[in-house]
Structure 1
Amino acid sequence: MARDGSGGQFEVPCHDEESGWFDASSSCYWRLLDPQPPAEDPVWAGRAPGEGAVYNGQCPGQPLGGGFRWFQNPPPGYGGGPDLEALAEEAVTKMRLLGADIGIAPKQDSTGTVGIPVWVWNGPGPRTTGPTSASATALGVTVTATATVQNVVWNFGNGSIVSCPFPGTPYSPSAGLNPPSTTRGQCGIPGYSRVGEYTVTATTTWAVHWAGGGRQGDLTTTRSSQVPVRIGELQVVGQ
């Protein structure tokens, strides 16, 4: 299925003798140039011939699409095989990746205090921190993907945003009123400045590496989770 310039769809054959093999992700046909362009051709962008290859693209319904393009690996669907990138995406779906399993101090069912540090962390597990793997197969070709959390961006709902490339450390009473320190593998903020109810949102970026069918590649995907936090003022008895 190809897309025209207006976003409409129309059917095209998977292979054309003149144009080559169809790639659904770009809606273009790609044909390996034979012979390949000389080493000084700008299409190589400084790469040496033999490092990947140059293909000629023709894109039905896209007047400005196509042309000569360098690819490290053959375009998806080239040679009549399965779309390896689509198989990688299918493998990611099978993993059922989640957002952070949020731990927070103060606890969700309690009330924190203005100016007191807030600690957050991501509970470890195959679907929350990784690594975790899954495979997908089509036309006798198997692609295996492995996902690992790259980082978690914590939005505390008050304008404070912290990025942590690690799960974080659960709060311990031994930490007292010390604020969490990213240099020590801890995540959080020094505290809220105003009374109120806030939503803490954790956006996890998963880094996925896949391999199969003689190719490999990388992709990223995100998942989010949220918890509420309630902040009050310190009440001093006797005043």
Structure 2
Amino acid sequence: MAGWLLQAEAKPKKPKKKSSARKTSGSSARAQLEAKKQAALKKQRAKASHKSPPSSRSGASPEPKSCPNMLGFDPCSPPPPYEELIVDYRDCLDRARKDAPGRDPKETCGNPPSKPEGGGDEMEYYYSLSNEEIVEMAVVDLEVPQSTIGMGPDPTWNKWGKAFVGHPYWFWVEGQTSVAPLTDNVGPLSVKLSATLESTTFSDGVSKTACQGAGTVYRRVQSNIGRPSPSCGMRFSEKGTKTITATAHWVVHWEIDGETGELDMPQTARRQVDVRELQSVNVEPPR
């Protein structure tokens, strides 16, 4: 009996489970460590994404970027005002031609403004411009002549130095009527340019006349005396000091990467003329 009780109270020992895990080699241990590392990094990225600042859609403004833009300037500032410099330079050339005809205007205005440079992708900047903007940059190197008004019969030919009311006068602009083709580079782009004088308009503030090209030059020959101009002619209707304004309508023809077009480039010139009236007086012959 006692032996039976002893056997009943004695709990059988559970057999030890054999571990299914095998000893890992050195290479597989390193692989497990790398996997744990990647998992930890992934967890950190997930946390960071939850803590990122709200986008502009939520109403909060994003933090300003500190990286430079493609031209190497602060991204919040506008690109260099190169187009404005070009306009100012062209105005300077026009003034220099008027103030000192026959003199190279670059002696007064210097060379054209330098094109934008910077620590970025210039090609992206230039290719973002329209063809018209590129031509505006290149046309500075196209020397379109400044207009000078010709008039015939010229008032300086008579002893009074005056023009007269009612007399037919011819008007034209002096100089060449075309500019030879040239090729200019604007950044990475090649621009072919040429120019022709298409038409000219003359006005004295009262009368107005227009003609193709530059007008017809008056020749001092007997057959032209009192003859109206075959193209651009006017008669003064009243006396006084008149300002003749000539607008030469130049057209620039351009080609960029196979595309072609035209750009108007008017040139203006002025000339003052003193106009008087001729009066006839009847004088009785001596008796």
Q: What is the CA–CA distance in structure 2 between the aligned matches of 1:217 and 1:90, rounded to whole Å?
A: 15
Q: CA deviation at 1:235?
A: 4.8
Partner of 2:4: none
Partner of 2:232: 187
| 223 and 204 in structure 1: CA distance in 2 versus 1, 3 angstrom threshold | same
Partner of 1:102: 149
Q: What is the CA–CA distance in structure 2 between the aligned matches of 1:171 and 1:214, rounded to whole Å?
A: 42
Q: Please say if 1:87 is aligned against 2:134.
A: yes
Q: What is the CA–CA distance in structure 1 between the aligned matches of 2:166 and 2:264, rounded to whole Å?
A: 36
Q: Does the 8 A contact of 1:87 with 1:136 survive in 2? A: no
1:138 corresponds to which of 169, 173, 186? 186
Q: CA deviation at 1:100?
A: 2.5
* Structure with greater helix share of residues: 2
Q: Does the 8 A contact of 2:200 with 2:247 survive in 1? A: yes
Give 1:221's aligned amino acid: M
| 221 and 116 in structure 1: CA distance in 2 versus 1, 3 angstrom threshold | same
| Offset from partner CA, 1:59-101 (integer Å, 9 cap, x none) | xxxxxxxxxxxxxxxxxx8796374433322332212324422
Q: Does the 8 A contact of 2:200 with 2:215 survive in 1? A: no
Q: What residue ranges of structure 1 are gaps of 5+ in the alignment?
A: 1-11, 15-23, 25-76
| 201 and 144 in structure 1: CA distance in 2 versus 1, 3 angstrom threshold | same
Q: What is the CA–CA distance in structure 2 between the aligned matches of 1:209 and 1:149, rounded to whole Å?
A: 11
Three-state SS of the structure 2 residue aligned to 1:96 is coil
Aligned-pair identity (%): 28
Q: CA deviation at 1:137?
A: 0.8
Q: Does the 8 A contact of 2:142 with 2:193 survive in 1? A: no
CA RMSD, Structure 1 to Structure 2 (Å): 3.0
Q: What is the CA–CA distance in structure 2 between the aligned matches of 1:13 and 1:108, rounded to whole Å?
A: 62
1:224 corresponds to which of 268, 271, 281? 268
Partner of 2:195: 147
Q: What is the CA–CA distance in structure 2 between the aligned matches of 1:80 and 1:230, rounded to whole Å?
A: 51
| Offset from partner CA, 1:29-62 (integer Å, 9 cap, x none) | xxxxxxxxxxxxxxxxxxxxxxxxxxxxxxxxxx
Q: CA deviation at 1:199?
A: 0.6
Q: What is the CA–CA distance in structure 2 between the aligned matches of 1:102 and 1:217, rounded to whole Å?
A: 29
Larger radius of gyration: 2
Q: What is the CA–CA distance in structure 1 between the aligned matches of 2:229 and 2:126, rounded to whole Å?
A: 54
Q: What is the CA–CA distance in structure 2 between the aligned matches of 1:94 and 1:230, rounded to whole Å?
A: 38
Give 2:263's aligned amino acid: L
Q: Does the 8 A contact of 1:99 with 1:202 survive in 2? A: no
Q: Does the 8 A contact of 2:168 with 2:227 survive in 1? A: yes
Q: What is the CA–CA distance in structure 2 between the aligned matches of 1:227 and 1:119, rounded to whole Å?
A: 14
Partner of 2:21: none
Q: What is the CA–CA distance in structure 2 between the aligned matches of 1:199 and 1:220, rounded to whole Å?
A: 24
Q: CA deviation at 1:148?
A: 0.7
Q: What is the CA–CA distance in structure 2 between the aligned matches of 1:231 and 1:170, rounded to whole Å?
A: 21
| Offset from partner CA, 1:93-135 (integer Å, 9 cap, x none) | 212324422110242532111110111112231xxx2133333
* Structure with greater strand share of residues: 1
TM-score w.r.t. the length of structure 2 is 0.49
Partner of 2:249: 205
Q: What is the CA–CA distance in structure 1 between the aligned matches of 2:126 and 2:240, rounded to whole Å?
A: 59
Give 1:177's aligned amino acid: G
Q: What is the CA–CA distance in structure 1 between the aligned matches of 2:274 and 2:155, rounded to whole Å?
A: 8
TM-score w.r.t. the length of structure 1 is 0.57
| 146 and 80 in structure 1: CA distance in 2 versus 1, 3 angstrom threshold | closer
Q: Does the 8 A contact of 1:99 with 1:203 survive in 2? A: no
Q: Does the 8 A contact of 2:144 with 2:179 survive in 1? A: no
**4+ residue stretches of structure 1 with deviation over 6 A?**
77-80
Number of residues paired by the alignment? Answer: 161
